[in-house]
Protein backbone atom coordinates (compact mmCIF):
# COMPACT_ATOMS: atom_id res chain seq x y z
CA UNK A 1 0.00 0.00 0.00
CA UNK A 2 1.15 3.47 -0.77
CA UNK A 3 1.27 5.90 2.07
CA UNK A 4 -1.32 8.60 1.80
CA UNK A 5 -0.73 12.15 2.79
CA UNK A 6 -3.53 12.72 5.25
CA UNK A 7 -3.97 14.77 8.37
CA UNK A 8 -4.62 12.62 11.40
CA UNK A 9 -4.89 13.55 15.02
CA UNK A 10 -4.03 10.58 17.20
CA UNK A 11 -4.19 10.83 20.97
CA UNK A 12 -2.46 8.40 23.30
CA UNK A 13 -3.18 7.92 26.99
CA UNK A 14 0.40 7.18 27.95
CA UNK A 15 3.73 8.33 26.64
CA UNK A 16 4.77 6.42 23.51
CA UNK A 17 7.96 5.86 21.62
CA UNK A 18 8.27 6.97 17.98
CA UNK A 19 8.28 3.29 16.91
CA UNK A 20 5.02 2.66 18.75
CA UNK A 21 3.43 5.72 17.19
CA UNK A 22 4.59 4.68 13.72
CA UNK A 23 3.19 1.19 14.23
CA UNK A 24 -0.17 2.55 15.36
CA UNK A 25 -0.32 4.88 12.37
CA UNK A 26 0.41 1.99 10.01
CA UNK A 27 -2.42 -0.03 11.54
CA UNK A 28 -4.75 2.94 11.30
CA UNK A 29 -3.78 3.50 7.68
CA UNK A 30 -4.50 -0.16 6.84
CA UNK A 31 -7.89 0.08 8.49
CA UNK A 32 -8.80 3.29 6.64
CA UNK A 33 -7.56 1.84 3.35
CA UNK A 34 -10.05 -1.01 3.70
CA UNK A 35 -12.96 1.10 4.97
CA UNK A 36 -12.63 3.81 2.31
CA UNK A 37 -13.04 1.44 -0.64
CA UNK A 38 -16.03 2.25 -2.82
CA UNK A 39 -17.57 -1.21 -2.33
CA UNK A 40 -17.64 -0.65 1.42
CA UNK A 41 -18.96 2.91 1.27
CA UNK A 42 -21.86 2.47 -1.14
CA UNK A 43 -24.10 0.24 1.05
CA UNK A 44 -23.93 2.55 4.07
CA UNK A 45 -24.82 5.83 2.36
CA UNK A 46 -28.00 7.28 0.98
CA UNK A 47 -28.46 10.30 -1.25
CA UNK A 48 -30.82 13.06 -0.17
CA UNK A 49 -31.81 15.25 -3.09
CA UNK A 50 -33.75 18.23 -1.85
CA UNK A 51 -34.24 19.54 -5.41
CA UNK A 52 -36.29 16.46 -6.33
CA UNK A 53 -37.61 15.77 -2.80
CA UNK A 54 -36.09 12.27 -2.96
CA UNK A 55 -34.12 10.03 -0.67
CA UNK A 56 -32.54 7.04 -2.37
CA UNK A 57 -30.35 4.16 -1.32
CA UNK A 58 -29.97 2.84 -4.86
CA UNK A 59 -26.36 1.70 -5.15
CA UNK A 60 -25.95 3.05 -8.67
CA UNK A 61 -27.04 6.54 -7.62
CA UNK A 62 -24.94 6.45 -4.44
CA UNK A 63 -21.85 5.28 -6.37
CA UNK A 64 -22.34 8.03 -8.94
CA UNK A 65 -22.77 10.68 -6.25
CA UNK A 66 -19.73 9.48 -4.30
CA UNK A 67 -17.54 9.60 -7.38
CA UNK A 68 -18.40 13.24 -8.09
CA UNK A 69 -15.72 15.61 -6.87
CA UNK A 70 -18.28 18.32 -6.11
CA UNK A 71 -21.89 17.67 -5.14
CA UNK A 72 -24.66 19.61 -6.81
CA UNK A 73 -26.41 22.18 -4.63
CA UNK A 74 -28.87 20.66 -2.17
CA UNK A 75 -27.74 17.08 -2.80
CA UNK A 76 -26.44 15.45 0.36
CA UNK A 77 -24.80 12.19 1.29
CA UNK A 78 -26.13 10.75 4.49
CA UNK A 79 -24.33 7.99 6.36
CA UNK A 80 -26.94 5.57 7.68
CA UNK A 81 -24.88 4.51 10.71
Q: Using one digit for the tens of pLDDT, what is the confidence trace for 39-66?
A: 999 999 999 999 999 999 999 999 999 9
Whether 38 shows a pLDDT value over 80: the answer reads yes
Can you tell me the distance from the alpha carbon of 33 to that of 57, in angstroms, rounded to the nearest whole number? Answer: 23
DSSP characters over the chain = -PPP--------SS---HHHHHHHHHHHHHHHHHHTSHHHHGGGEEEEETTTTEEE--HHHHHHHHH-SSPPTTEEEEE--
Whether 3 shows a pLDDT value over 80: the answer reads no
pTM over 0.85: no
Report CA dihedral (37, 40, 45, 49) to the nearest 10 degrees: 50
- Average pLDDT of the chain is 89
Please compute the mean of the pLDDT values over residues 32-44 and round it to a whole number: 90
Amino acid sequence: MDKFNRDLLVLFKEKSTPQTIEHELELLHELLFYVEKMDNLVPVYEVINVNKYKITSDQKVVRETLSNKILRPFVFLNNMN
